[in-house]
């Protein structure tokens, strides 16, 4: 008989593996050891690419047919910062005051443990009546460049004929309490670097120079003062923030030759990365056509319209927590931006209050409740007509 998975114990075992991106430190081994006795067929999927760290990933599947529900997440975590500032060793997974402390407790090793436990509970409950498939897609590259992880796993698996009917991503989604929010989409993210070049000179003789700083300021003002939109049905208005302006000029009597500015745009489903870039260039060109602009889009906006997947999560969360989750598209990007090209995707996990912080922690009661929410969600999805 397979030993029951205790989601608290598995959470602690995962936290004890210091899997700071891109190091695995045995975290995937811990998860594989928990999944294999249940009948999951586990497959390691390491990827490499020049200029990026090698990353190991895990894809595990239970069942070969029927409705196929996937759980996706990551075992990699961000650095701990000053370890001495923590109440406990960040990788000791200590329990105190009803909490499990450790890096990754919220983002997002606990959710992985909860899904493993929930899958075991549901399959045991369903018995011979279970004729579907459950898979677990775990990367070690979510907190890093996200090049050798989920995106490549999906490409390879889909190329082999793998399909999914829905995917739950276990990222922390709730502001303060479990059951407050489910993410059904995300804004896109565009980073721009503007470089404006002039002619260096003496501040006493400005007519002999060309100061690029005022021109750059006017260009930045042009995109800051014009809103992209007023928002859409499921998205808040797009935002644009200047992140840096650099001249690199320590002298007080020198007109600089170059100024560089960085900015980030979080755009909703009214736009694409290409349309935002055009909007930026059109506004810059009003001031001056003489500039260099580098654009990188790390993710397009997307929306999984409310449907069976989000409904099942929402109903389960409300039953367990007595809170009806808001269906939201707020926050930053996640690996759901890759998964949305293959199947409906929704994100639901713990509270993000202590994610990436000193003393990251999760309440044991929330671990048990999250497990139950995932179990009920599986039951609803697999047993629906």
Domain shared by 75 and 174, yes or no: yes
Domain shared by 315 and 295, yes or no: no
Domain shared by 174 and 60, yes or no: yes
10 vs 50: CA distance, rounded Å: 34
Active site residues: 76, 142
Can you read off the two tokens belonging to residue 163? 């399909």
**pLDDT band (50, 70, 90) for residue 1:** low
149 vs 58: CA distance, rounded Å: 9
Residue 183: name the closest of 381, 332, 26 by CA. 332
151 vs 333: CA distance, rounded Å: 14
pLDDT at 132: 97
Q: Is residue 368 part of a domain?
A: yes
pLDDT at 332: 84
- Full domain range(s) for residue 84: 7-186+301-383
Query: Is the pTM higher than 0.75?
Result: yes
Does the pLDDT value for residue 164 go beyond 70?
A: yes
**pLDDT band (50, 70, 90) for residue 385:** confident
pLDDT at 331: 87
Overall domain count for the chain: 2
Mean pLDDT of the region 321-331: 95
**Coil, strand or helix at 152:** helix
For residue 181, CA distances in Å to 82, 348, 377 come to 31, 7, 15
Mean pLDDT of the region 303-330: 97
Q: Is residue 1 part of a domain?
A: no
CATH number of residue 199's parent domain? 3.30.70.360
**Percentage of the chain modeled with pLDDT above 70:** 100
Query: 181-231, pLDDT tens digit by residue?
Result: 999 999 999 999 999 999 999 999 999 999 999 999 999 999 999 999 999
Does the pLDDT value for residue 363 go beyond 90?
A: yes
Average pLDDT, the chain: 96
């Amino acid at each position: 008989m397979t030993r029951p998975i205790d989601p608290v114990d598995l959470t602690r075992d995962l936290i004890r593996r210091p899997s700071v991106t891109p190091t695995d430190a045995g975290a995937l081994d811990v998860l594989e050891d928990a999944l294999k006795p249940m009948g999951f067929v586990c497959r390691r999927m390491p990827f490499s690419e020049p200029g990026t760290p090698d990353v190991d990933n895990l894809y595990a599947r239970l069942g070969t047919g029927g409705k196929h529900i996937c759980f996706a997440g990551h075992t990699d975590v961000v650095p701990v910062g000053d370890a001495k500032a923590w109440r406990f060793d960040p990788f000791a997974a200590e329990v105190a005051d009803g909490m499990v402390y450790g890096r990754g407790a919220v983002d997002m090793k606990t959710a992985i443990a909860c899904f493993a436990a929930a899958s075991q509970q549901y399959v045991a409950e369903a018995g011979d009546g279970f004729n579907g498939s459950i898979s677990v897609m775990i990367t070690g590259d979510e907190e890093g460049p996200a090049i050798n992880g989920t995106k490549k796993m999906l490409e390879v698996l889909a190329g082999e004929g793998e399909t999914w009917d829905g995917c739950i991503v276990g990222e922390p989604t709730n502001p303060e309490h479990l059951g407050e929010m489910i993410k059904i989409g995300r804004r896109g993210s565009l980073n721009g670097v503007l470089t404006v070049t002039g002619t260096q000179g003496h501040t006493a003789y400005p007519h002999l120079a060309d100061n690029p700083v005022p021109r750059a300021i006017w260009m930045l003002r042009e995109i800051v003062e014009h809103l992209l939109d007023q928002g859409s049905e499921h998205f808040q208005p797009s935002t644009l923030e200047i992140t840096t302006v650099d001249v690199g000029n320590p002298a007080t009597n020198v007109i600089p030759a170059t100024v560089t500015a960085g900015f980030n745009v979080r755009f909703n489903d009214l736009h694409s990365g290409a349309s935002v870039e055009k909007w930026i260039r059109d506004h810059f060109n009003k001031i001056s056509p003489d500039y260099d602009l580098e654009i990188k889009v790390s993710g397009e906006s997307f929306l999984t319209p409310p449907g069976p997947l989000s409904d099942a999560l929402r109903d389960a969360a409300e039953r367990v927590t007595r809170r009806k989750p808001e269906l939201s598209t707020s926050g930053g990007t996640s690996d759901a931006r890759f998964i949305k090209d293959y199947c409906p995707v929704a994100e639901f996990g713990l509270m993000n209050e202590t994610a990436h912080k000193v003393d990251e922690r999760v309440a044991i009661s929330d671990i048990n409740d999250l497990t139950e929410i995932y179990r009920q969600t599986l039951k609803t999805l697999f047993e629906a007509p």
